[in-house]
Structure formats: C-alpha cells, structure tokens
Amino acid sequence: MILKTLPQDEYELIDTGEGQKLERYGPYVLCRPDPEAIWKKILPQDKWKNADMEFIRNGNRTKWITKEGVAKNWNISFGNLSFQITPSSFKHTGLFPEQLLNWQWMENVIKNRFVSSQTAPSGPRVKSPDHAVSLSNSANQIPRVLNLFAYTGGATLACAKAGAEVCHVDGSKTAVLWARRNAELSGLKNAPIRWIVEDVLMFLRREIKRGHRYDAIIMDPPSFGHGPKDELWKIESNFLELMELCKQILSDKPLFVLINGYTAGYSAIAYQNNLMYMMEGYNGNIEIGELTIKETSTERLLPCGIFARWSNIV
C-alpha cells in the first residue's frame, strides 16, 4: 500500500531531485536536503534559488540561509489542524506532511468506536495522583490513545480532535512544549491530552505497574536517541522490548496500533512481523506500506517512510 499526501492549501511539495526537495509551508518556500530524491529536478535552478530558506550542510556544520524578512517561525493549517513551523538545525520543520493519511485513518477508527460501541470500554481506567487529565470516561465510551515518541503532536491532535483521550509521550521537553503550542493553535488546549516528558520505555514500565491500559497505540521509534535523563535508545537493541511492553499495556478490545518507520534499511515487513506477534489472538487486519508526498505538478512521489498498522476494522 502506498499512502499519498496530495498538495494542500498551505503545504505543497513543489519539486524534488538531486538530493533536495522544494516545499511551500504557507507563505514561504523552503529548500532542504532529501537523500531519497536520487533523480533529476524538473524546475530550472533559478526557481530553487528563489527559495525563502535553504538548509546548508558543510561537514558537521549546518545552517539555514534565510532571505530578509522571513519569520523564524509561523503558523499554517494542515489536515484541519494548525501547526507552528520552526525550521530547526536538524533540517526539520515540525510537520511531517506524509502522515496525513495515517491521521485520517486513525480519526475514522476512533469515530467508528463512538458509532458502533454499546459496551463499556475494556481494561482498567485507573486514575493516578500524578495524572494531569482524568482518564476515567468509561460511561462516555471514550477511547484512550497512547502516542509514543510523539514529537510535535500531529497524531496526538488528530486523535484528540476525533474525540479520544490521548497520552502524549516524548523524551524532549522542547518537543512537548511545541506540541502543546500546536494543540492551542488547533483549538485543542482543553482537550483531554496528558503531556508527558519521559523516556518511553521507563514510562511504559511504570504504566504497566499502575495497571493502566490503552485502546490504541501509536509509535514512531527513532534510530537513536536519548531520554530526558540521558537514557539511551537504540532501535536495534530496544525495539523488541518496546513491542513487548506495548503488548502488555493494550486493553482487551484494542482499536488500532500504528508503527511509523524512518530508519534507513528497515522494511515495513519487519514491522508487520512484530504486529503479527503483538496482535495474536485479536480479530483485526494488518496493512503495511510506504508514506509518500506527491509533487504539485507531476505524478512523482517522494518516499518519506514506512508504516505498519493493525485495526479491528476488517
């Protein structure tokens, strides 16, 4: 399966090629490196040179070359949500447009729960003293979603907008503050979102001990990273434990599990194999594939990552 993000009012992929991509985020056009773009550019070079911002890498040093008058950050609407765009020293902007169809898929699964479910949600709904948001809504049939490695919160906001309670977990305080800002911009400041700055594995172990369960899990594990207390994450060493802990924290009647992958060299089949084990005994369907963005004026697709997802809607 290939998921294609098409041009939007305030985002478009203008051109790609020769290791770069040209994108428009609201009023500004950005030029960034992209190792997947191993083909020829279509637009003439002067179009690329007219970009408002260009990311430059020289050895271990990076910088953005910015035209005069361009803001350091600005807001755009995307996928019926709003995001603060802030080009970072890692070339990221804070938005991953290729995830749009995954967000829409999660929204549909969550809304289906409200329509079809006539029984109380499964799994204990225990409120811990340190919870900032009530997690006990069994009378309202509200699904509980756990978003791990949640970064700036696109999936968190999509699920909250659909009516779910969401627990947003990331090891970066900066990322969580950014996600909270996006929630405010999207009109979701008071949505039932629990914001957690913690190492993901540490958090999962603690939630299991607390007896908490979730109806859906989203994860976007990086290749390498550190938690807030310098906890080390390596996908080749820690991914199996992550999946095992997630298996233990699922409710009895889960809605969905989504794994996103940006680690070079891994196949969506590898994630599928893990989901087959994790969801053994549950009645549902697994889909795998690539995340892509379509160029504005051509049929070319820019590959951006992989995904594997399970849902109980067959």
Q: Which of 18-32, 41-55, 103-117, 264-278 has the lowest mean pLDDT?
A: 103-117
Question: How many angstroms separate the Cα of 108 from the Cα of each of 43, 104, 116?
Answer: 37, 6, 12
How confident is the model at residue 119, as a pLDDT? Answer: 42
Domain co-membership, 120 together with 261: yes
Check: CB of residue 257 under 8 Å from CB of residue 279.
yes
- DSSP letters spanning 166-188: EEEEES-HHHHHHHHHHHHHTT-
CATH classification of the domain holding 125: 3.40.50.150
Q: Is the pLDDT of residue 139 over 70?
A: no
> In this structure, is residue 216 part of a structural domain?
yes
How confident is the model at residue 222, as a pLDDT? Answer: 80
Burial of 263: CB neighbours in 10 Å, binned 0-12, 13-18, 19+ = middle
Domain co-membership, 10 together with 103: no
Q: What is the pLDDT of residues 27-47, one digit of tens each?
A: 999 999 999 999 999 999 999
Phi, psi of 57 (to 5 degrees): -120, 125
Q: Is the pLDDT of residue 134 over 60?
A: no
Domain co-membership, 221 together with 106: yes
Mean pLDDT of the region 77-99: 96
Task: Show which of 56, 85, 114 is a domain's final residue.
Answer: 85
Report the number of distinct structural domains present in the chain. 2
How confident is the model at residue 61, as a pLDDT? Answer: 86
Q: Is the pLDDT of residue 122 over 60?
A: no
Other beta carbons less than 10 A from residue 53's beta carbon = 17
How confident is the model at residue 116, as a pLDDT? Answer: 58
Helix (H) or strand (E) segment spanning residue 148: strand 144-148
Report the predicted TM-score, pTM, of the whole model to 2 decimal places.
Answer: 0.89
Nearest CA to 150 among 175, 173, 119?
A: 175
* Span between the terminal Cα atoms of the chain, in Å: 16
Distance CA 294, CA 287 (A): 21
Other beta carbons less than 10 A from residue 231's beta carbon = 15
Domain co-membership, 34 together with 102: no
Task: Show which of 36, 60, 85 is a domain's final residue.
Answer: 85
> In this structure, is residue 92 part of a structural domain?
no
Domain co-membership, 13 together with 67: yes
Range of the structural domain that residue 65 is part of: 2-85
Task: Show which of 54, 85, 116 is a domain's final residue.
Answer: 85
Q: What is the pLDDT of residues 223-273, one digit of tens each?
A: 767 677 777 768 777 899 999 999 999 999 999 999 999 977 889 999 999
Domain co-membership, 125 together with 177: yes
Domain co-membership, 106 together with 222: yes
Percent of the chain with pLDDT over 90: 79
CATH classification of the domain holding 11: 2.60.40.1180
